[in-house]
Chain A
Amino acid sequence: VFIFLLVAIADKTYCIILFFLFFIFLHFVKMSKHHSTFCIFIRQALIFIYSIIAGVGGDNIEETLCVSLWRYVNTAGLFSRLSIFSFAELCNQTWFVWNLEVHGSIASRRPVLCRFLVIFFFLLSIFIVGVLTFLLCHRLDSLCAPFLYLNFNNEAQAYACLSSFIPKYLHNFFLKDNSSVIQEYLAKFSHLIAFHDPALANHLSGINFIPELFAIPWFLTMFSHVFPLHKIFHLWDKLLLGDASFPLYVGLAILQQLRDTLLSSGFNECILLFSDLPVPMLIFILFISQITPQRKMSIPLLSYNFPHFSKMSIVFSLEMLGNSETTSKETNMLVIKPPPIFSGQGQVYSCGQTSPHTFFNSPHDHLYVVPGSGDYCLIASSITTGTGRSNYNTINRPKFKHMISLTSRG
């Protein structure tokens, strides 16, 4: 790398040779085992450096590059740059550079500096993309997210949080061979279930629903893979006060919460309860229609069907309602998130039905429905398409924005 750097500084024509050598290197890497992930970041790095080279062309560029350079060297070492945001920022700057297209070139006036910067950014981008790949490969991304979100402008602190969080709660979880560590952890978890709730433990082992099938994402990401960010903050706040064994109890609490459901269902239903993927079974069809402007617009939603469950949860989030990415064009079907694990109890609303039906209304954009028999409508209070933040106090007196009717078919 140093040779390349010197060569690049020495003469412009050698840059071509440098790239040629680099492609040979790339080809060599292709032969090796892990080339696929490596190639991805090499490709991204190439795009990056290309945009840098192409963009170096104006007076402002020098300043921009120096500022970014300073930022990258300044903070608590390169390792604090472990974030997606940094990369996004870097890309932004690169594109900013790309878009400037100012006449005149600093390359002609300050060739050495320019080339140094180019090489530096190239190496930096490789480093950052490499770290990113590492993060994504090792599921650290879910763990990083809360800390990064809370320390958005102080990534060094976010990294410090992460690096003290992992040894405490996820000790040795990210070893190359973490099988024994995780197996031990899950064994502890099974013992804990058996101790605190023998009936549930018996049932779960009877239907062969072992923690390996559902609890790995919980513990490997400290629940951040399975819960939305705003719930993670509450959970981790509690978690940080406890010791290293606390996550196990959180897992136990989740099972306790779903105890009745789990006890009354078989393997299939249990597994779907914890599944990340929405499961349409077309027995219940959920309709949502907007009634405020006196026009009906109904969108059929996929729904879960657990006919014999004591509690069924239907969740939809506002981001998804508003997001056309997740909406399939032909059918207008919306994606529903998996059943929630935590639910707050809310007011009972029912109409068109003599027997009462409860639904649990959580503070955040979610509707939890408990199915009864027959057709009925439920009115959701917390579905608003504004900021996605609903008022906690409106649970008792909702503003009726949408009407949801749940019809049973077959």
Chain B
Amino acid sequence: MNDTYPVPDEKLFKVLIVGDPTVGKTSFVQRYVQNTFRKDYKGTVGVDFALKVVRTSENQTVKLQLWDIAGQERFTWMTRVYYKDSHGCIIMFDLGKDNSLENIIKWKNDVDSKCKAPDGSPLPCILLANKCDLPDKQVTREELESFHKQHNFIGWTETSAKEGIMVNESMKFLMEIMLRRESNSTEPMSDSIRLDVPPPRTQGTGSQNEEN
């Protein structure tokens, strides 16, 4: 693919975007990838894809393959196929709905049980509280602060796909974490000794037990 021109360093990350229906996953992706917002609703069937190329430094570009996964329950049986080989995850919920937190746990468990990062640890997962431009918020910041720690998210923020608030910032944050993990995991791999792999695995299962 890149035979014609040399690309110094190009990384590809697969990022999942999951969450209940109509929380704004597709809108978020559209805002991030092409900086637009559509008011009409067209539900996602199965899964949708988008690609964003980010230039992180002079000689490094990151390709983010965004998997916008349908939130409807009737597609959850498919998620195992969709989650495969992903590097990061966004779990999104609607600030205006008050049963969101239970569903986040459901999604988080679903992701963690079906998918592991390449090094065997749980996927780096950020929690996005979408629709923060709307006035009525059912979940407080304090709740979210303790919630995201308890359930092993790498971070959380309020976003608004409509107004474009914190969309790029949150993606940048996730990207940096994924890059850091990538560089950590590739260094021991160059020694071609796989003894380094088990410790993260135990960490991973340990943290999962905590959740359950």
Contacts and interface: CB of A to CB of B under 8 A. Distances in A.
Interface stretch (B72-80, B121-129, B181-189): B72-80
Interface centre among B1, B12, B47, B51 (most CB of A within 10 A): B51
A136 interface: yes
A277 B33 contact: yes
Interface string B54-87: 0000000001010010001011011001100000
Interface string B28-47: 01100111111111111111
Contacts of A302: 34
Interface residues of A, number: 45
A220 interface: yes
Contact of A35 (B49, B72, B99): B99
B45 A225 contact: yes
Contacts of B120: none
Contacts of B49: 271-272, 274-275, 277
A401 interface: no
Contacts of B50: 272, 275, 277-279
A contacts with B: majority SS: loop
Contacts of A266: 1
Interface string A321-336: 0000111101101010
Contact of A308 (B1, B29, B44, B63): B1
A326 B40 CA distance: 10
Interface in A49-94: none
Contacts of A179: 77-78
A104 interface: no
Contact of A307 (B4, B45, B78, B99): B4
A147 to B, nearest CB: 19
B149 interface: no
B36 A138 contact: no
Interface of B: 1, 4, 12, 20-21, 26, 29-30, 33-51, 53, 63, 65, 68, 72, 74-75, 77-78, 81-82, 97-99
* A-B pairs with lowest CB-CB distance, top 5: A216-B46, A217-B45, A179-B77, A275-B49, A277-B50
Given A137-B72, A326-B38, 4 more contacts: A36-B99, A225-B45, A272-B50, A280-B34
30 contacts: A137-B21, A137-B72, A139-B45, A179-B78, A210-B81, A212-B46, A213-B46, A213-B81, A214-B46, A216-B47, A217-B45, A220-B45, A225-B45, A266-B1, A268-B65, A272-B49, A274-B49, A275-B49, A275-B50, A276-B42, A276-B48, A277-B30, A278-B50, A280-B33, A308-B1, A325-B38, A325-B40, A326-B38, A333-B34, A335-B38
